[in-house]
A and B are shown apart, each in its own frame.
Chain A
């Protein structure tokens, strides 16, 4: 009982988010405009409340920390997630159902609860964040799968709701079916991992893999399972070969939702990758006590998995950047850039603890901030109620929208990795981690890619600031709501100011993954028994029994 209470306590932030989602869903159906207008602020208040709750309810004791592969991950990175979520939520204020609300307000249409989508949108927003938050504290594969689905399912609907056009609906359908396919792939991977270890709990899997590694290598089944899992999760992080949907879906959704898509599922996928690869451990970091009592390094990630990750990282960076080069639509360009950034982050994933994973967490946070700022410019400006999309719309923005042009320039500069800005430090940490782990060729590839990327990011810097206004950009006005622009300015300020807090932020990121590195000797329960069991067929039935046990 107390065990359950203690575990539930660590979930107070998620419960807060859930309650907020319910509130948002119900309040959004109110007849009164003031109440409906309050829904985004209820959402932000919920996010802030959850943010406050995170440090309070994350005092892990032995029992609650025991089942966690990276015990510190939840208490630290959730703060970053929620901070970015606040920015993302500001971005949506007054945008998602603008036409409908205008019609209600002007009396062109009577209020229709069936047609209003405000409550649903923000409820799904919070549910998706809840899912992402749950990924951080996943203990077992079932939890992880459910959390990942909770992250993704609302996003499919958010895409469809985000604007009334058929393009959004087409994007949503594509996103849903391809997402379901990807989920099937990594679910199959999970099944194979379970088949290879006989357990669903991540820490126990780690022990089993360590044992297998020390007695002849991780089983082939697990290797195939891990590769399938990684490939499936590639959909979430928009990495090759699962990246095809990104451009279409990002373009179809409204800009605030696109910003959401670029951060939330990506963060969920990265965290899941960290946890799952963590079960096998990275080379040279994990030790095991063998039957004689000597501590021996275990092999770590099997070579095929590393090679596949390498291939994915290289392909992702290159395809993303080359794809972005050819785009005329800013949203498509940012979609491809999002793909490329996943490739950079995979370097940290490959490099492993502590620096590599910390660098990934830091980069995710930085990416969330700078990407949101970039999308805020698209969300904050409009032409007769239509989003701005093409590069021509941005030309000479400084003349009429000096603030937004600077925000775009800073965001693009940071995404490019221009030295004093936040993105540069993120990239630097990733590259350092890559070099430390001995993946110099990968870092070189990434550096070449960064150089290629500079070409299109510089267009985003230069067009608004330097070039002359085009006929298209003359007709662009401010959006209805000021809040997306506020979010943009906040993001841009963050891009400049946060580098001053580099040390504390990176230390926090390192702290988040430190629990993994500390758990040096994974528990290998009944080592000799299990060793004997290696040859025994009869244990298959035992595995079945334990599965039933764990199912209830």
Chain B
């Protein structure tokens, strides 16, 4: 992190007044709508009104169904690589513009190497943990 110049801003709370007004307006709008529908609209209820899809198929079973935990584990392992790729792209683009063998380039390389090493460790861990077995 480069040392940014500290700047004193005489920020009193009044600077945030517009933000506060917007927030208040948003809340008021929502509350107003809710109250308005309650007051103005007719309120009816019945069996037909209560079903999930009023004019579609009837739902079967509960939506709160359990998935096998392996899906989650695999998904998380996938994330490790996914995130790695996301980081590698901008790195590769930036690295090509640095002077070769300059200190900055070495530092850049060192950083990504550390990151890759961390990913490898995570991969090794997942492997030993038996994430990739599906029985």
Contacts and interface: CB of A to CB of B under 8 A. Distances in A.
A and B touch in the complex (CB under 8 A): yes
Interface of A: 1, 4, 22, 25-26, 29, 67, 112-114, 139-140, 142, 195-201, 204-205, 207-208, 211-212, 219-221, 525-526, 530-531, 533-535, 539-540, 542-543, 546-547, 549-550
B64 to A, nearest CB: 18
Given A4-B107, A113-B128, A547-B4, A198 B9 contact: yes
Given A22-B121, A219-B11, A525-B6, A140 B129 contact: no
Interface of B: 1-13, 103-104, 106-107, 121, 124-125, 128-130
B11 A196 contact: yes
Given A1-B107, A26-B121, A200 B4 contact: yes
B4 A205 contact: no
Nearest to A530: B8
A404 B9 CA distance: 59
Nearest to B70: A114
B5 A526 contact: yes
A548 to B, nearest CB: 9
29 contacts: A1-B104, A1-B106, A1-B107, A26-B121, A26-B125, A26-B128, A29-B125, A112-B130, A113-B128, A114-B130, A196-B11, A197-B9, A198-B6, A198-B9, A201-B1, A204-B4, A204-B6, A219-B11, A220-B13, A221-B11, A530-B7, A531-B8, A533-B9, A534-B10, A540-B9, A546-B4, A546-B7, A549-B4, A550-B1
Contacts of A114: 129-130
Nearest to A208: B6
Contacts of A205: 6
Contacts of A197: 6-9
B74 to A, nearest CB: 13
Chain B interface, >50% SS class: loop
B9 A550 contact: no
Contacts of A525: 5-6
Given A196-B11, A219-B12, A26 B4 contact: no
A194 B121 CA distance: 36
Nearest to B73: A114
A221 B4 contact: no
B4 A201 contact: yes
B20 to A, nearest CB: 13
A221 B1 contact: no
Contact of B8 (A113, A534, A549, A550): A534
Nearest to B128: A29
Contact of A219 (B10, B106, B129): B10
Given A1-B106, A26-B125, A201 B8 contact: no
B119 to A, nearest CB: 12
B107 A198 contact: no
Contacts of B106: 1
